[in-house]
Amino acid sequence: MSIEYFTIGALAKKVGKTTRTLRFYEEKSLIEPAKRTQGGYRLYSHDSLVRLQWIEQLQDMGFSIKDIQNFVSQVSDIKHPPSKMVHISQVYVQRLKETQEEISRLREQEKELQASLAMLDSCQTCTSISDHTACRSCMEITKKQQNRLKIPDLLQPLLG
Amino acid sequence: MSIEYFTIGALAKKVGKTTRTLRFYEEKSLIEPAKRTQGGYRLYSHDSLVRLQWIEQLQDMGFSIKDIQNFVSQVSDIKHPPSKMVHISQVYVQRLKETQEEISRLREQEKELQASLAMLDSCQTCTSISDHTACRSCMEITKKQQNRLKIPDLLQPLLG
DNA sequence: TCAAACCCTAACGTTGACGTTAAGGTTAAG
DNA sequence: CTTAACCTTAACGTCAACGTTAGGGTTTGA
């Protein structure tokens, strides 16, 4: 049973990426065709497919292309297999830390937005009043609340 | 009591940004000096300082410069004050939604990383063995586990 | 009045992960 | 044998938010 090869277009379709992306990864030394045709067409084996899926998974875990490049070269530089595993663990731990930091940053964002929205809710009664000059609640927003809204200058015209 | 003005450098220092950044914001129509000196130096009033803090806060909430541009122009296009408030709320709600989506994406990342690390832990016993050829646990990682590790080809040499 | 410190505009550079022509060669089907 | 569909390399384009020269003018304090 002979090995099955894919052209770049066929492989691209299989992994849901463009041919440009596959060539780009090759430039970055992340993949390489098993061989070429006489005319120079890239021919990939199943290994490349696996490798591409692996790259995608690492990207999904937040690793950049450069991270993956470093990862590959560093691990292959380490000769002692158990040391490889230790290094891999360290890289994952570091990534996990960064992901968690990003999460807490976003949770801060979330809180700010929710607080601002809660503040804006007190203005919503206003919207049901056709004559907004009679709207008092907007006028009663304090300086401190304005700051909370993060839109002081936009509120300024409303606040007179 | 006359108004106090700041040069671009003084204002930049106050808000912890570079002069380039302030000029960049001006290009984007986000701020503008109150006036200029004879020689063309920008002179800013206290308003610009407030506005810059506001911009920073919006950025901290995840709005891009372009978002802020749109935000400003859209809100100023709306004439009816209560409608302004409604629009502001909508923009905040949309942003909150995006932030929350981002958070759940990152929580997925976190889970993937933690699962992979848990898997790698089973290899850590190995590292305390000097003769790694005697290490069995690495050899016993199943195909399914390999996939979970997201590093099948890096493990390949370890697995023989 | 003179020099250090500051400011001006204009415009090209940076980073990441590809997208998009341009100009042509190769393959496979009919 | 032709031709549509596919492939090749090379190289410039994209977006965000500024950074970084380059080549000058302006202020201000001694």
pLDDT tens, B12-36? 999 999 999 999 999 999 999 999 9
pLDDT at A21 > cutoff 80: yes
pLDDT averaged over every residue in chain A: 83
How close, in Å, is residue A1 to chain B by CA atoms? 23
Question: Which residue of chain A is at minimal alpha-carbon distance from B152?
Answer: A54
Res A97: pLDDT: 96
Q: How many CB atoms lie within 10 A of CB A48?
A: 24
Res A157: pLDDT: 46
Which whole number is the average pLDDT over A29-55? 95
Are A143 and A123 within 8 A, CB to CB? Answer: no
Tell me the per-residue pLDDT of B47-104, one tens digit each, with 9 for 90 and over. Answer: 999 999 999 999 999 999 999 999 999 988 887 777 888 888 999 999 999 999 999 9
Res B157: pLDDT: 45
- The answer to whether A153 contacts B116, with C-beta atoms less than 8 Å apart, is no
Res B130: pLDDT: 54
DSSP letters along A47-101, please? Answer: HHHHHHHHHHHHHHTT--HHHHHHHHHHHHH--SHHHHHHHHHHHHHHHHHHHHH
Q: B-contacting residues of A 57-76, CB under 8 Å?
A: 57-58, 60-62, 72, 75
Higher pLDDT, B61 or A146: B61
Res A130: pLDDT: 54
DSSP letters along A91-155, please? Answer: HHHHHHHHHHHHHHHHHHHHHHHHHHHHHHHHHHHHHT-S-GGG--TGGG--HHHHHHHT-HHHH
Q: Are strands A35-36 and B42-43 parallel, antiparallel or unpaired?
A: unpaired
Q: Is A35 left (phi over 0), alpha (psi -120 to 50) or beta?
A: beta
Give A43 CA → C29 C1' in Å. Answer: 20
pLDDT at B113 > cutoff 90: yes
Res B149: pLDDT: 57
Ranked by mean pLDDT, the top range of A85-89, A124-128, B120-124 is A85-89
> What are the E-state strand segments in chain B?
35-36, 42-43
Mutate to test the interface with B, among A70, A85, A143 (most CBs of B within 10 A): A85
Which of B120, B154, B116, B151 has the alpha carbon at shortest distance from A75?
B154
Which whole number is the average pLDDT over B104-114? 94
The CA distance from B53 to B159, in Å, is 56
Res A84: pLDDT: 81
The CA distance from A158 to A120, in Å, is 13
Of the given ranges (A18-22, A114-118, B21-25), which has the lowest mean pLDDT?
A114-118
In chain A, pLDDT over 90 holds for what percent of residues?
Answer: 56
pLDDT at A62 > cutoff 90: yes
